[in-house]
Structures are given as C-alpha cells and as structure tokens.
Amino acid sequence: MSLRIVVTVKYVPDATGDRHFADDLTVDRDDVDGLLSELDEYAVEQALQISENSDDDVEITVLTVGPEDAKDALRKALSMGADKAIHVEDDDIHGTDAIGTSLVLAKAIEKAGYDLVISGMASTDGTMGVVPALLAERLGVPQVTLLSEVSVEDGTVKGRRDGDAASENLEASLPAVVSVTDQSGEARYPSFKGIMAAKKKPVESWDLSDLDIEAEEVGLAGAYTTVDNAAERPARTAGTIVKDEGEGGKQLAEFLAGQKFI
Amino acid sequence: MAEVLVYVDHVDGAVRKPTLELLTLARRIGEPVAVALGNGAADTAAALAEHGAVKVLTHEASEYADYLVVPKVDALQAAVEAVSPAAVLVPSSAEGKEIAARLALRLGSGIITDAVDLEAGDEGPVATQSVFAASFTTKSRVSKGTPVITVKPNSAAVEAAPAAGAVEALSVTFSEKATGTKVTGRTPRESTGRPELTEAAIVVSGGRGVNGAENFAIIEALADSLGAAVGASRAAVDAGWYPHTNQVGQTGKSVSPQLYIASGISGAIQHRAGMQTSKTIVAINKDAEAPIFDLVDYGVVGDLFDVVPALTEEIKTRKG
C-alpha cells in the first residue's frame, strides 16, 4: 500500500512586518519579507508524523500557488522532510481570490494524484480559513477539518475537532481533505541535514495551461469579490497611563465608572 | 422588498446572540428569512420573529448532528433555491465559514468572511472587514452571484423589530456527499457560567504575566465582578495555564467587546490581531514599554497581583 499526501502551503508576508496593500488593492508582496505561513508548518508536521507512524509507503508532496519567491515556502517544507514540491506560478494568477485559489489548487492536486490533502487552519494574511472546505467541495471528497489530533489507518482518517460548544470525533474514508490547527503539535525545525537534502529534492513548476485553466477564471478579473477601498485604521488616540503607587486599582475603577462600565 | 437569508446558529432551539445581530444587518438590505436546522429548529421561531424574521424555514433531521458541515450546506442551498434571496448571511464561526464557502462555490457566488459591518449599496451589500491584524479596514462586495457573507459577533446591536416569523417546513434532499464525514463522538464543553468569549460585552484576559494556571483565579474573579468573559494570550495557553478555547488572537478567537482588559499581556501582533477592534481597551502590565500600552484608553503600569485584586475589590464595593 502506498499513501500519497499533498500538503497545501502558502507563502505570506511576515505578520510581524508592516503589511499593506498595493495600488490594485491586492496584498503587497514586494515590500515585506515573505515566508512559509506559520499555520502551514503544522500541516507539514502532521504529514511527516503520519508518514513516520505508517507501515505504508508514504510520499509527501508540498504544493503552493504564488509568485517566484513562493519557492522559499516550498524549500522550507522540503527541509522539514517533505519529499517533493509543486509550484504553480503564472502571471495571470495575480489577484486571485479564495474561490479561484481553490480551483487552481484542486486542479493541481488532481494532476499530482492524492489520497490525502492536508492544509493549515487558515493563512496568516487572508485569514479566511475556507480553502480546505472549498477543496473538499471541488474534489468531491470528505472534509475532516480543524483537527487538533489526526491519525490515518487502513484507509480511514480520524481526528478530533475542538469547537466552541463541543469537541467532536470525526471519521472519514480516504481520499479526504484534512486541515489541522496550531494545537495539533509543535512543528519541527529543519535540521542541517534536512536543509542540505532539500536542495536536491525535485520542485516541479506548472502554469495555468498545465492545469487546463483559462486566464479569465482566475486573477483580479476572474475574482468573485471586489475590494472597493482599503484604509489604514486610524491610530488609537493616546490613552492615560498611570503608574501604580498603591492606588492603581482604584484609579482604574474610577476610569471604568466614568465610562459607565461599573 | 428583496429577501435576505439568515442562517440560524442555535443550540436545541436556543438562538445564539450573533444570529440576532445578523437580523439587524439583514434588515438594512431586505426582509430577513431565517433558516433553522436540526434538533429544536422550530423552537427558534419566537426569538427570530421578535427580531425581524418575516419567515423561518425549518428542517429537522439527525444528519445535521451526525455528519460534518455538508448536510447544512445541502439545506442552505435548498433554501436559496426556494427563496432566491438578495444575499445569504451566516455567523462567522469556524463551521459557519465552512458552510458559507461551500454554499458560495455551489451557487457560483463570491464569498466575504468576517465582516464587521454591512450596509446596502448600489451594486449589492458592502461589507467592512478588519485586516492585517486590524491595522487596515477594507470595504468589499461580492461581484458575482448571490452574495454570501459571514459576519463576526458583536458587529451590530441586537434590536427588537417584531415581524411575522411564520414557520415553514423546508424541503431538503441530502446529497450523496452529505454522509462523508461521520461525527463518531461529541463531548460538550462544560459551562463556566460566564458569557461566550466572542459574544461578551466585556472580556478580561490574562497573559504571560499571570505566571501559572492557579493564578488565573484572580483574572476570573475580576471577570466575574464585571460579568465578563475570560480570555488568555497564546503564551498563557501554550504554557497550559488556560484552555485553548479561551485564546484571544490570530490563532484563537477574535473579539470586539465594549471593554477589553489585558492583564500581564505584552501585546504582540498575534494578540493584537484578536482584540484591536475592541471599543475601550485597558491594560495592566509591569513593563511600561509593553506595546499593549500603545492601544490603551487607560493603562496601569504596575504588578497585576496588586492592581487586579484591588480593582476587583473596588468594583464589588461600588456595585454594593
């Protein structure tokens, strides 16, 4: 038996940098350093753990859609231990929204061949968290998402989804789409050996024509949503700051009473 | 007037507050038609009518509890086909966003998630979103198909607006994929008796400075004196001091209460992403240089173990 895992990853602007919008109201990816979205590291980690705990022959492919620099995200995932990578890159993809991104990813996943897709819970830039559900809908396979625990055995994926009202145990047959949360387990750091090995691992490049996608289906023109404007949030007006010299609690209560909270 | 579908989040018939907020927003766009599914669906009607639902479409079936997400997508799709609404509004919970996304794809529609405000526009509803850890505000609209929009809790006031709320049975045929992901077990969360974190008017959070699970008792005591929910920073959750369900920040809950009190929280970007849109922000921290003080309306530089209990005592005294 073999198990083919495709891990979807995103190259995002560093959240600790000064993120902003470009003139066309897309996320500016030039002025802020990019990196593998932190939340996708958990997806790579779970793929590696599934592989390590399996008697099957497991192959892990990392897949990204993005500009040239997005290769850095693939390289990081390969250095953590993934086997190979696919980079979908095409100028016409610029400005694609979540619906369009899910189309490109789904076509690429089908072309690559898969038994299990693993995604992070959301990207750290768009933060929508809807791509895994969209992939399941497009691929026509079960959605087993937002898992804090995941395991695969005998063609079945099981996991625990911690919701607001309850914690649920889920189960589905492969093929399936899984997403994992940041509670699923700390992602490993690439070892020096892993970093060296990653340089020799294959990275395939595909464009839209490889996936039979027309340019009009993606990009800003193909988007299903339009951003009309983006404004920097006005800085909060400087507040009152006091040093506690025994009366800090009382002073704070006074402020809260003045604001009618007490 | 055009109809607007509102997906009802309820627990055995008890409607949760964010759904009532959606009705307020739906009335700005058209006539709200609510869709309530699963056990107790019909029991939601009174509360929904009270807040403006002209109609309540209901369907009860065990599939909604036994299988993940897809049965609800099937039902909402059936409701869209029955009503041809001007828009579909869904509460922005983790599940709500997944339902909305799959529905949008089936309808050939665009989706906007995590709106914090919604108004009618010439080219359809305009959604306001807070992005990049709430450092930017965007206005967007769906440009293809029936707009599907998820809205965050606390984005609008709950308003009484009595309407007919006529209950109608929704006819639903489940798709082949509806039973793909089985829910094999469910452990309800133990109630703390405190308000839901994302819905609370006041949130009191503790961070690294709380320095131990046992010390969260003083955060809880302050929260209880104000009738508030308790939150925690990622540092406190990662240290195992407080449950992940209470985490405020990028990978936890995003909250927007009237009052947010941060105790022993430095205010890293991950945390700010989850609380920056709070109306009034108060912080207590030993470090005068902590970035959280850049956000506050009122800050106390001091030891939270002195300031928080003193504040709690003072509140209790004032409230008598």
- Give B6-51 pLDDT, tens digit per residue: 999 999 999 999 999 999 999 999 999 999 999 999 999 999 999 9
Q: Name the band, by pLDDT with cuts 50, 70 and 90, for residue A20.
A: confident
Q: Assess if residue A20 is contained within a domain.
A: yes
> Over 90: is that where the pLDDT of A246 sits?
yes
Q: Assess if residue A231 is contained within a domain.
A: no
Q: Name the band, by pLDDT with cuts 50, 70 and 90, for residue A234.
A: confident
Establish whether the linkage from the previous residue to B91 is cis, with ω within 30° of 0: no
> Over 80: is that where the pLDDT of B1 sits?
no
Burial (0-12, 13-18, 19+ Cβ within 10 Å), A254: middle
What one-letter code names the amino acid at B70?
Answer: V
A182-198 tens-digit pLDDT? 999 999 999 999 999 99
Cβ neighbours of A164 in B, within 8 Å: 93-94, 189, 196, 198, 245
Q: Assess if residue A241 is contained within a domain.
A: no
Burial (0-12, 13-18, 19+ Cβ within 10 Å), B110: buried
Chain B neighbours among A 159-198 (CB < 8 Å)? 161-173, 176, 181-183
Q: Name the band, by pLDDT with cuts 50, 70 and 90, for residue A30.
A: confident
User: Which residue does chain B place closest to A97, by CA atoms?
Assistant: B110
3-state secondary structure of A55: coil
Cβ count within 10 A of residue B132: 24
Lowest mean pLDDT among A28-42, A80-94, B55-69, B71-85: A28-42
> Over 90: is that where the pLDDT of A238 sits?
no
A204 touches chain B (CB under 8 A): no
What pLDDT, on a 0 to 100 scale, did the predictor assign at position B69? 98
Fold of B202-319: Rossmann fold (3.40.50)
- Which residues form the domain of A157? 2-222
Chain A neighbours among B 185-244 (CB < 8 Å)? 185-189, 196, 198, 202, 226, 244
What one-letter code names the amino acid at A51?
Answer: S
Chain A neighbours among B 19-48 (CB < 8 Å)? none
Task: Taking residues A22-27, report their average pLDDT.
Answer: 88
> Over 90: is that where the pLDDT of A32 sits?
no
Please tell me the total number of residues recorded for chain A in this structure: 262
> Over 80: is that where the pLDDT of A115 sits?
yes
Please tell me the total number of residues recorded for chain B in this structure: 320
> Over 90: is that where the pLDDT of A154 sits?
yes
Is B249 annotated to bind ligand? Answer: yes
Question: Smallest Cβ distance to A244: which of B102, B276, B301?
Answer: B301
B98 with A145: Cβ contact below 8 A: yes
> Over 80: is that where the pLDDT of A1 sits?
no
A129 touches chain B (CB under 8 A): yes
Task: Taking residues B163-176, report their average pLDDT.
Answer: 97
What pLDDT, on a 0 to 100 scale, did the predictor assign at position B226? 97
Which residue in A121, A162, A262 has the most chain B C-beta atoms within 10 A of its own C-beta, making it the best mutation to test that interface? A262
Q: Assess if residue A218 is contained within a domain.
A: yes
- Half-sphere CA count of B114, side-chain side, radius 13 A: 24
Cα of B54 vs its chain's centroid, Å:
23
Closest of B138, B159, B28, B21 to residue B90, by C-alpha: B21
Cβ proximity of B302 and B264 under 8 Å: no
What pLDDT, on a 0 to 100 scale, did the predictor assign at position B140? 96
> Over 80: is that where the pLDDT of B311 sits?
yes
Two tokens at A127? 């933060």
> Over 80: is that where the pLDDT of B218 sits?
yes
A145 touches chain B (CB under 8 A): yes
DSSP string across chain B: --EEEEE--EETTEE-HHHHHHHHHHHHHSEEEEEEESTTGGGGHHHHHHTT-SEEEEE--THHHHB-SHHHHHHHHHHHHHH--SEEEEE-SHHHHHHHHHHHHHHT--EEEEEEEEE--TTS-EEEEEETTTTEEEEEEE-SSS-EEEE-TTSS---------EEEEPP----GGGGSSEEEEEEEPPP-SSPPTTT-SEEEEE-GGG-SGGGHHHHHHHHHHHT-EEEE-HHHHHTTSS-GGGBBSTTSB----SEEEEES----HHHHHHHTT-SEEEEEES-TT-GGGGT-SEEEES-HHHHHHHHHHHHHHHH-
The beta strand positions in A174-224, using DSSP E, are 176-180, 203-206
Q: Assess if residue A173 is contained within a domain.
A: yes
- How far is Cα B5 from Cα B54, in angstroms, rounded to an integer? 11
- How far is Cα A105 from Cα A109, in angstroms, rounded to an integer? 6
DSSP secondary structure letter of residue A183: T
What pLDDT, on a 0 to 100 scale, did the predictor assign at position A29? 82
What pLDDT, on a 0 to 100 scale, did the predictor assign at position A15? 83
Instruction: Tell me how many domains chain A contains.
Output: 1
User: Which residue does chain A place closest to B146, by CA atoms?
Assistant: A224
Which residue in B98, B143, B144, B272 has the most chain A C-beta atoms within 10 A of its own C-beta, making it the best mutation to test that interface? B98
User: Which residue does chain B place closest to A98, by CA atoms?
Assistant: B111
Q: Assess if residue A248 is contained within a domain.
A: no
State the CATH number of the domain containing residue A78. 3.40.50.620
What pLDDT, on a 0 to 100 scale, did the predictor assign at position B21? 97
What pLDDT, on a 0 to 100 scale, did the predictor assign at position A126? 86
A169 with B69: Cβ contact below 8 A: no
- How far is Cα A248 from Cα B226, in angstroms, rounded to an integer? 18
End-to-end CA distance of chain B: 50
Average predicted confidence (pLDDT) for chain A: 95
- How far is Cα A23 from Cα A17, in angstroms, rounded to an integer? 18
Question: Is-same-fold flag (B3-179; B202-319)?
Answer: yes
- How far is Cα A111 from Cα A108, in angstroms, rounded to an integer? 5
Which phi and psi angles does B31 have, rounded to 5°? Answer: -95, 120
Q: Name the band, by pLDDT with cuts 50, 70 and 90, for residue A222.
A: very high
B318 with A257: Cβ contact below 8 A: yes
- How far is Cα A125 from Cα A97, in angstroms, rounded to an integer? 12
3-state secondary structure of A147: strand
> Over 90: is that where the pLDDT of B113 sits?
yes
> Over 90: is that where the pLDDT of A125 sits?
no
Q: Assess if residue A69 is contained within a domain.
A: yes
Domain ranges for chain B, please list them: 3-179, 202-319
> Over 80: is that where the pLDDT of A175 sits?
yes
Query: Order of strands across the sheet with B55-59?
Result: A225-232, B136-142, B126-131, B111-119, B148-151, B87-91, B3-7, B31-37, B55-59, B166-169
> Over 80: is that where the pLDDT of A219 sits?
yes
Q: At what angle do helices A98-112 and A131-139 cross, to 10 degrees?
A: 50
B111 with A140: Cβ contact below 8 A: no
B269-307 tens-digit pLDDT? 889 989 998 999 999 999 999 999 999 999 999 999 999
pLDDT over 90 percentage in chain A: 85
B55 Cβ partners below 8 Å, 6+ apart?
Answer: B3, B33, B34, B164, B165, B166, B167, B168
Alpha-carbon gap: A197 to the closest alpha carbon of chain B (Å) = 31
> Over 90: is that where the pLDDT of B133 sits?
no
Say which residue, A99 or A238, is predicted with more confidence: A99
Q: Is the dihedral of CA B238, A118, B95, B189 positive or negative?
A: negative
What interface predicted TM-score (ipTM) does this complex get? Answer: 0.95
Which CATH number does the domain B3-179 belong to among 3.40.50.620, 1.10.8.80, 3.40.50.300, 3.30.2090.10? 3.40.50.620
A101 touches chain B (CB under 8 A): no
A253 Cβ partners below 8 Å, 6+ apart?
Answer: A262, B311, B314, B315, B318
> Over 90: is that where the pLDDT of A165 sits?
no
Question: Smallest Cβ distance to A19: which of B132, B282, B303?
Answer: B132
- How far is Cα A179 from Cα A128, in angstroms, rounded to an integer? 13
What pLDDT, on a 0 to 100 scale, did the predictor assign at position A31? 79
Q: Assess if residue A191 is contained within a domain.
A: yes
End-to-end CA distance of chain A: 65
Which residue in A224, A229, A259 has the most chain B C-beta atoms within 10 A of its own C-beta, making it the best mutation to test that interface? A224
Cβ neighbours of B202 in A, within 8 Å: 261
pLDDT over 70 percentage in chain B: 100
